[in-house]
């Protein structure tokens, strides 16, 4: 019986099959059990002898089953391990990593520069009313400055903001001086689109109000920003200009050396000036108090796309907003 059992045990290729063989020999109705049952009918001498022999067979069978069971389990584990093995030498599956849009990155960089100078970064609303976009900024209905900005008017007389300056008014309505804020965001102008004009673009507005604020603070702040953007050798230049909501007003440019070509030039970045007293007057009216009646401060606004185009050599403003991955991918890695 041992030999037959051995053949069957060796032939069983799974734990299930092995279990069937085990039942056949060692189960309640198994062959060996049947042998044991015959013992009772034997003479004492013969029973003893056969009993010992059957027990030996039983032990032997049990050992064989155990050995086979271990072997099958090991084989099963080995098979599983090899089928689930990870070959670390294979090339990985490329991961499609996204990235921030260049405009977002420049806004983040600028925000960091200003946070470093203690500014809060706040957001305004893109749909404005005439009061905040124009009137409170000393641009009344008859003012020629309104013509410079071809405005998108909504049916209810609201406008898509033509600049981020309305946030000057909104912030002062809701907050007390002194404060320093920058306001990055989208602005809209009803423009004929070409390589340097888009109907939507981005600005960063700055407003500082506090006691003793002067034009020197304005200049120092913009020089600091220029260094943050273009390195420690950057310089700023101011040229007299006109904005209804600042007096005096200036346009500022940054002197900048292109690290790739070595060429240096003045880059016109935006407008600035000391906040016009009429702006503070309008704020007092809106707040219905005189907290800003004698306030002083400076404001500035710069165009983000312009900055990006010149710094990174992008020839057409429309490239920013066409979602062409060939353009966007170039600015996924480190800038500069």
What would the x/- binding string for ligand PHE be over residues 166 to 205, using CB under 6 A? ---------------------------------------x
How near is the Cβ of 268 to ligand PHE at its closest, in Å?
A: 11
Q: How far is the CB of 260 from ligand PHE (least distance, A)?
A: 29
We find the least distance from the C-beta atom of residue 218 to ligand PHE, in angstroms, to be 10
Query: Which residues lie below 8 Å from residue 191, measured CB to CB, with a gap of 6+?
Result: 150, 197, 198, 199
Specify the stretch interacting with ligand PHE by CB under 6 A; choose among 5-13, 94-102, 177-185, 266-274.
266-274
Question: Shortest Cβ distance from residue 300 to ligand PHE (Å)?
Answer: 5
Question: Shortest CA distance to 269 belongs to which of 299, 231, 295, 236?
Answer: 236
Give exposure, 148-178, as e/b (b: 16+ Cβ within 10 Å): ebebbeeeeebbbbbbbbbbbbbbbeeeebe
Q: List phi, psi (to 5°) of 287.
A: -80, -20
Q: How far apart are CA 249 and CA 252, in angstroms?
A: 10
Closest CA to 202 of 274, 132, 270: 270
Shortest distance (Å) from residue 250 CB to ligand PHE: 8
Which of 184, 185, 244, 271 contacts ligand PHE by CB under 6 A? 271
Contacts of 177 (CB under 8 A, 6+ apart): 209, 210, 291, 292, 295, 297
Closest separation in Å from C-beta 180 to ligand PHE: 14
Stretch of 6-14, 28-36, 171-179, 268-276 contacting ligand PHE, by CB under 6 A: 268-276
Q: Are 228 and 250 in contact (CB under 8 A)?
A: no
Q: Which residue sits closest to ligand PHE, CB atoms considered?
A: 301
Closest CB to ligand PHE among 184 and 301? 301
Which residues between 128 and 167 bind ligand PHE (CB under 6 A)?
A: 163, 165
- Separation between Cα atoms, residue 286 and residue 137, nearest integer Å: 12
Q: How far is the CB of 227 from ligand PHE (least distance, A)?
A: 21
Tell which residue, 203, 183, 182, has the closest CA to residue 114.
182
Q: Out of 166, 244, 273, 297, name the contact with ligand PHE by CB under 6 A.
A: 273
C-alpha dihedral, 202 to 208 to 214 to 219, nearest 10°: -40
| 280 contacts ligand PHE (rule: CB under 6 A) | no
Pick the closer one to ligand PHE by CB: 5 or 169: 169
Within the chain, strands assigned E span: 120-121, 127-128, 159-160, 179-188, 200-209, 235-243, 246-257, 264-275, 297-303
- Sketch the per residue contact string, 225 through 264, with ligand PHE: x for CB under 6 A, - otherwise: ------------------x--x------------------
The smaller minimum CB distance to ligand PHE, of residues 148 and 330, is found at 148
* Residues 293-322 within binding reach of ligand PHE (CB under 6 A): 299-301
Q: Which residues bind ligand PHE (CB under 6 A)?
A: 163, 165, 205, 243, 246, 270-273, 299-301
């Amino acid at each position: 019986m041992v030999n037959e059992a051995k053949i069957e045990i060796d032939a069983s290729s799974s734990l299930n099959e092995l279990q069937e063989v085990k039942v056949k020999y060692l189960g309640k109705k198994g062959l060996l059990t049947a042998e044991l049952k015959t013992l009772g009918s034997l003479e004492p001498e013969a029973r003893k002898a056969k009993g010992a022999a059957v027990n030996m067979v039983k032990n032997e069978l049990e050992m064989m089953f155990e050995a086979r069971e271990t072997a099958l389990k090991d084989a099963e584990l080995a098979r599983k391990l090899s089928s689930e093995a990870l070959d670390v030498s294979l090339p990985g599956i490329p991961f499609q990593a996204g990235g921030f849009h260049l405009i977002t990155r420049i806004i983040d960089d600028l925000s960091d520069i200003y946070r470093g100078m203690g500014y809060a970064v706040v957001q305004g609303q893109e749909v404005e009313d005439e009061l905040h976009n124009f009137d409170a900024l000393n641009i009344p209905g008859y003012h020629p400055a309104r013509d410079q900005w071809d405005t998108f008017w909504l049916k209810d007389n609201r406008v898509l903001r033509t600049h981020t300056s309305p946030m000057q008014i909104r912030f002062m309505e809701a907050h007390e001086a002194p404060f320093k804020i920058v306001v990055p965001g989208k602005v809209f102008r009803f423009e004929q689109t070409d390589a340097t004009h888009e109907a939507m673009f981005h600005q960063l507005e700055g407003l500082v109000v506090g006691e003793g604020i002067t034009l020197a603070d304005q200049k120092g702040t913009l020089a600091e920003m220029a260094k943050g953007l273009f390195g420690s050798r950057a310089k700023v230049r101011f040229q007299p200009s006109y904005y209804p909501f600042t007096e005096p007003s200036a346009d500022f440019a940054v002197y900048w050396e292109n690290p790739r070509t070595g060429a240096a030039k003045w880059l016109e970045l935006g407008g600035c000036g000391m906040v016009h007293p009429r702006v503070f007057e309008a704020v007092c009216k809106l707040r219905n108090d005189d907290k800003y009646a004698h306030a002083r401060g400076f404001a500035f606004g710069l165009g983000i796309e312009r900055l990006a185009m010149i710094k990174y050599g992008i020839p057409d403003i429309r490239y920013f907003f066409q979602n062409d991955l060939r353009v966007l991918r170039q600015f996924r890695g480190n800038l500069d």
